[in-house]
């Protein structure tokens, strides 16, 4: 239906959205549900909007089989505000929170926690240039910790947890910004899961928080109203005006995931997409070099170098010329990064793999 050619979009975030969702939004934009206005123009207290809002919550609950003792919240301020809200709500001055450091986003998260209480580096792969996820045996936390925090997928370094540590009675809190909705996850292992929407969930502007109800009840009370989880839980995320268009888009993305067969099917597709690119790296005889160790590789962000620095510049320039968007590594680490989120089609990954092979053949 779309007449323009879609780019091979490997942006790290904001990033590709399913074309079917964009087309549906386009169709409904001017006149949503025969209301004579767009979803952006109607009251967040209207019946039409309320249906969209509750439908998105219900779909997320169903896709992840979220147990009844959890709330789904739609907040603003990005994952970055969660770096603050988590310790503000759950860490008391005389308590310690454990953070597992696997990249820049975990560093930013622990920095905020230090403002509210004590912190412990439960494990860190910094000395290994964040190439790996620490082994379970390395992780040190305490039974008195307020919580243990980790980043499930490290967008900048291209690593991800395949399995999550068990923390028993201590709540495990995860920043899932860059791999939420990419595979099934047992929500009951977590106290809180949070994610900015702009990778796998929808446009930027919405932050999804999945949170255990008992933690909301036990949270600190002497904090600003808007920064209390309870404020949003008590009002079904309608305490103030929510980002209505973003939540509408999120609902449409969730429908799209359902139509694709749910999280199992999405995970399988993501594995196939990543494999086609990792295979090129692994079979390149060192021409391309992956940043992450093989067992810690992310299926969402594939980070690699062209071993020859001059050729790397040429690679990025030629790739851009050939229509591949967003392949430059994060400005803090350089190199190359292909972000292969849910909405990036297999064909785009295959086209990139073919391009990488052709580039190697031409320049080796
Ligand atoms: C893993 C991770 N955490 C946090 C953030 C920050 O998210 P936001 O820009 O929504 O605050 C990002 C952004 O890319 C991210 O990838």
DSSP assignment of 137-166 equals GG----TT-S-EEEESEETTTTEE-SSPPP
Do residues 178 and 155 lie in contact, with contact meaning Cβ atoms separated by under 8 Å?
Answer: yes
199 carries an active-site annotation:
yes
What is the 249 CA–ligand 1 centroid distance (Å)?
Answer: 19
Q: Would you state the pLDDT for residue 333?
A: 85
Give, in order, the Cα–Cα distances in Å from 201 to each of 181, 207, 232, 303: 7, 9, 20, 22
3 state DSSP class of 101: strand
Q: Which atom of ligand 1 is nearest to the CA of 103?
A: 1
For a pocket test of ligand 1, which of 155, 181, 332 has the largest count of ligand atoms closer than 8 A to its C-beta?
155
CB 272 within 8 A of CB 254: no
Peptide bond into 14 cis (omega under 30): yes
Please choose, from the candidates 6, 56, 38, the residue with its C-alpha nearest in 3D space to the C-alpha of residue 237.
Answer: 56
Q: Are 180 and 317 in contact (CB under 8 A)?
A: no
The 10 Å Cβ neighbour count of residue 45 is 9
Q: Is 125 in the pocket of ligand 1 (CB under 6 A)?
A: no
**Burial class (CB within 10 angstroms; exposed 0-12, middle 13-18, buried 19+) of 225:** exposed
**Residue of the CA atom closest to atom 9 of ligand 1:** 78
Phi, psi of 336 (to 5 degrees): -120, 150
32: left (phi over 0), alpha (psi -120 to 50) or beta: beta
119 Cβ inside 6 Å of ligand 1: no
What pLDDT, on a 0 to 100 scale, did the predictor assign at position 90? Answer: 98
Mean per-residue pLDDT pooled into runs of 10, the chain (364 residues):
79 98 98 98 98 98 98 98 98 97 98 98 97 97 97 98 97 98 98 98 98 98 98 98 98 98 98 98 98 98 96 97 96 93 98 98 94
CATH hierarchy code of domain 22-259: 3.40.640.10
Mutate to test the pocket of ligand 1, among 107, 179, 196, 250 (most ligand atoms within 8 A of CB): 196
- Ligand 1 center–CA 1 separation, angstroms: 33
Please indicate whether residue 175 is annotated as part of the active site: yes
Ligand 1 mean position, distance from CA 179 (Å):
11
Q: How many CB atoms lie within 10 A of CB 310?
A: 9
H or E segment and range at residue 252: helix 244-259
Distances from the Cα of 138 to the Cα of 101, 118, 125, 135, 303, angstroms: 12, 20, 10, 5, 25
**Angle of the 262-282 helix axis to the 346-363 helix axis, nearest 10:** 0
- Substitution candidate for ligand 1 out of 78, 85, 203, 303 with most atoms within 8 A of CB: 78
In the reported structure, the alpha carbon of residue 248 is separated from the centroid of ligand 1 by a whole-number distance in angstroms of 21
Distance CA 57, CA 123 (A): 34
Q: Which of 80, 195, 250, 298 to mutate to test the pocket of ligand 1 (most atoms within 8 A of CB)?
A: 80
Largest pairwise CA distance in the chain? 63
Atom of ligand 1 nearest to the CA of 152: 1
Number of neighbours of residue 131 by Cβ within 10 angstroms = 18
> Helix crossing, 104-113 with 78-90: angle to 10°?
40
* Catalytic, out of 145, 161, 175, 273: 175
For every residue of 256-322, DSSP letters joined together read HHHHTTHHHHHHHHHHHHHHHHHHHHHTSTTSEEESS-GGGB-SSEEEEEESSHHHHHHHHHHHHHT
Residue nearest (by alpha carbon) to ligand 1 atom 7: 79
pLDDT, residue 283, reads 98
Residue having the nearest C-alpha atom to atom 2 of ligand 1 = 177
Report CA 309 to chain centroid distance, whole Å: 30
Cα(300) to centroid(ligand 1), Å: 14
155 lines ligand 1 (CB under 6 A): yes
* CA 290 / ligand 1 centre spacing (Å): 22
| Average pLDDT of every residue of the chain | 97
pLDDT at residue 332 in the model: 83
The ranges assigned to domains in the chain are 22-259, 262-363
Q: Is 282 one of the catalytic residues? A: no
The CB of 177 under 6 Å from ligand 1? The reply is: yes
- Which residues make beta-bridge pairs with 149? 99, 173
Q: What's the rounded Cα separation, in Å, for the pair 174 and 270?
A: 21
Are β-strands 288-290 and 301-306 bridged in parallel, bridged antiparallel, or unpaired?
antiparallel
262-363: which CATH architecture? Answer: Alpha-Beta Complex (3.90)
d(CA 195, CA 78): 7
> Which residue owns the Cα nearest ligand 1 atom 4?
79
Model-level pTM greater than 0.95? Answer: yes
């Amino acid at each position: 239906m779309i007449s323009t050619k879609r780019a091979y979009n490997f942006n790290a975030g904001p990033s590709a959205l399913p074309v079917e969702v964009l087309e549906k939004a386009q169709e409904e934009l001017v006149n949503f549900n025969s209301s004579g206005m767009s979803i952006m123009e109607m009251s967040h207290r209207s019946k039409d909007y309320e249906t969209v809002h509750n439908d998105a919550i219900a779909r997320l609950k169903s896709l992840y089989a979220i147990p009844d003792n959890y709330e789904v919240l739609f907040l603003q301020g990005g994952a970055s505000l969660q770096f603050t809200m988590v310790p503000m709500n759950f860490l008391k001055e005389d308590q310690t929170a454990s953070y597992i450091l696997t990249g820049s986003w975990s560093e930013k998260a622990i920095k905020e926690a230090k403002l509210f209480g004590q912190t412990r580096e439960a494990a860190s792969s910094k000395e290994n240039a964040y190439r790996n996820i620490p082994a379970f045996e390395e992780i040190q936390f305490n039974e008195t910790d307020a919580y243990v925090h980790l980043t499930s997928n490290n967008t900048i370094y291209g690593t991800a947890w395949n399995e999550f540590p068990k923390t028993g009675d201590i709540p495990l809190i995860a920043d899932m910004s860059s791999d939420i909705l990419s595979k099934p996850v047992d929500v009951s292992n977590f106290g809180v899961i949070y994610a900015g929407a702009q990778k796998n969930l929808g446009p930027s502007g919405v932050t999804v928080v999945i949170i255990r109800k008992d933690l909301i009840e036990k949270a600190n009370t002497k904090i600003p109203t808007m920064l209390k989880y309870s404020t949003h839980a008590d009002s079904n995320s309608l305490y103030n005006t929510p980002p209505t268009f973003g939540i509408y888009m999120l609902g449409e993305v969730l429908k799209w995931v359902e139509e694709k067969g749910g999280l199992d099917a999405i995970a399988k597709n993501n594995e196939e997409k990543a494999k086609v690119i990792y295979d090129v790296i692994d079979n390149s005889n060192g021409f391309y070099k992956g940043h992450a160790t093989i067992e810690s590789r992310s299926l969402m962000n594939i980070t690699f170098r062209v071993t020859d620095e001059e050729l790397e510049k040429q690679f990025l320039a030629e790739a851009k010329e050939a229509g591949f968007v967003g392949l430059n590594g994060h400005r803090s680490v350089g190199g190359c990064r292909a972000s292969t989120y849910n909405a990036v089609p297999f064909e785009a990954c295959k086209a990139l793999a073919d391009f990488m092979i052709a580039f190697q053949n031409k320049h080796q």
